[in-house]
Amino acid sequence: MATGSLHLGDNLDVLGACAPDASVDLVYLDPPFNTGQRRQALARGRRGALGPDGGFDDQFRWSPEVARRFDALCGAGGPLATALGAFRALAGEGDRLAYLTMLAPRLAALPRVLRPTGSLVVHVDPSTSHYVKVLLDALLGPGAFRNEIVWRYRRWPTRSRALQRMHDVLLLYAVGPAPKFHALYGYEPLAASTLATFGQRRQKADFSSGRRRPGTVEAVSPGPPLSDVWEIGVVAPSGKERVGWPTQKPLALLERLILATTDPGDRVLDPFCGSGTTLVAAARLGRDFVGIDASADALALARARLAADGFLTDEECPTLAIAPR
Ligand SMILES: C[S@@+](CC[C@H](N)C(=O)[O-])C[C@H]1O[C@@H](n2cnc3c(N)ncnc32)[C@H](O)[C@@H]1O
């Protein structure tokens, strides 16, 4: 049975206390996206009432305090400082640079906790993904990049003078040369041309003539290996999965990531865990989990979701230990 813990606080402050070196197999983070809005929780989620301040700020402003933090990061030198300096030259000192000043040191703190076979997945939107990719290349080296996963969803169209934005970006990086990876089958249909030629039979190349020829065996094909474009519905406002936390991600998204990059018994960390989607997906798949969030309301929801799935929680402890029931 999976075990795990929840930690209240700024992830930069608490990461050291809750994640020893090389102790985690997958880090997934879904930080604020710099939308410029306050993301308000529903007053009453499905798992109980939230406090009046439930939600989180997704607003980043350039200020003397942010400039001081930016200068400290640049003063430390190294590739991250070079990348940040280039962003200032390109984008100027505004909201975007303030956002990247928040994110950069948090990304920099994460490789330490990953095992050499581990993976880091950063969930962002298309307005910042190119900057975050450069930050991750700078931190981990350009060879560490593995996939840019496009999560495509459908939502109500909005008034826009550009194409409707209907996807997020998940950047998958490795920290070592031999990351864990499991190809996933059964998510995508066979191409129409493949079905016309082979039907549902599994294909196997035939090299008996010395040249590659397509052959077939009788087993039913599980479909092609999963690609890097995933069509998964958002959590519907009236859906059973909905717990009331803004920007809650679907369990199906996290399940795929966890299955592709970890084994049962591995440990998954989410340092911006919100309502605990990653932790619930990990626990259901038999992985241990560590969740961090700066909001007590978010952690209360995460705890309730985990409890509903059969985990006992210690509600009195600010760093919450969760043991199997
Ligand atoms: C986009 S939401 C995560 C949603 C989550 N994936 C889910 O499915 O519910 C971002 C979360 O980051 C938290 N957060 C923002 N800044 C933080 C920080 N410095 N340390 C820890 N958590 C933070 C917010 O409280 C919020 O819950």
3-state secondary structure of 76: coil
Using alpha carbons, select from 28, 7, 3, 24 the residue that is nearest to residue 288: 3
Tens-digit pLDDT profile for residues 213-253: 767 676 788 889 999 999 999 998 888 999 989 899 999 99
Q: Which of 56, 101, 125 to mutate to test the pocket of ligand 1 (most atoms within 8 A of CB)?
A: 56
CA of 222 to the centre of ligand 1 (A): 36
Kind of pairing between the strands at 267-270 and 288-293? parallel
Give the whole-angstrom CA distance, residue 47 versus residue 60: 30
* Residue to probe by mutation, ligand 1, list 40, 279, 293, 299, most atoms within 8 Å of CB: 293
Residue 124 belongs to a domain with what CATH number? 3.40.50.150
294 Cβ closer than 6 Å to some ligand 1 atom? yes
* pLDDT value of position 51: 53
Residue 313 within any structural domain of the chain: yes
For residue 213, tell me if it sits in a domain: no
Whether 217 is in a domain gets the answer: no
* Residue where the block lists tokens 């209240």: 8
Q: Which residues of 153-178 are buried (b: 16+ CB within 10 A; e: fewer)?
A: eeeeeeeeeeeeeebbbbbbbbbeee
Q: Is the pLDDT of residue 298 over 60?
A: yes
Q: For residue 201, is it within any domain?
A: no
- Measured from the CB, is residue 234 less than 6 Å from ligand 1? no
Is ligand 1 within 6 A of the CB of residue 173?
no
Q: How far is the CA of 250 from the centre of ligand 1 (A)?
A: 15
Q: Is 162 contained in some domain?
A: yes
- Asked if residue 28 has pLDDT above 80, the reply is yes
Confidence of residue 197 (pLDDT cuts 50, 70, 90): confident
- Asked whether 230 lines ligand 1 (CB < 6 A), one says no
User: CA 173, CA 175: separation in Å to the nearest integer?
Assistant: 7
Answer whether residue 215 is part of any domain.
no
Give the count of domains, the chain. 1
Taking only the tens place, the pLDDT of each residue in 265-285 is 999 999 999 999 999 999 999
Cα of 293 to ligand 1 centre, how many Å? 6
Asked, for residue 30, whether it belongs to a domain, the answer is: yes
Q: What is the pLDDT of residue 310?
A: 87
- Assess whether the C-beta atom of 111 lies below 6 angstroms from ligand 1: no
What residue numbers bound the domain in which 259 lies? 4-188+224-324
Q: How many whole angstroms separate alpha carbon 120 and alpha carbon 163?
A: 30
Name the percent of the chain in helix, strand, coil, to the closest 5.
30, 25, 40
Query: CA-to-CA distance for 147 and 229, rounded, in angstroms?
Result: 10
Indicate whether residue 249 lines ligand 1 (CB < 6 A).
Answer: yes
Q: Is 318's pLDDT higher than 70?
A: no
Measure the CA–CA gap between 113 and 12, rounded to whole angstroms: 13
Is residue 204 situated within a structural domain? no
Q: To test ligand 1's pocket by mutation, which of 99, 270, 272 has the most ligand atoms within 8 angstroms of CB?
A: 272
The answer on pLDDT for 47 being more than 60 is no
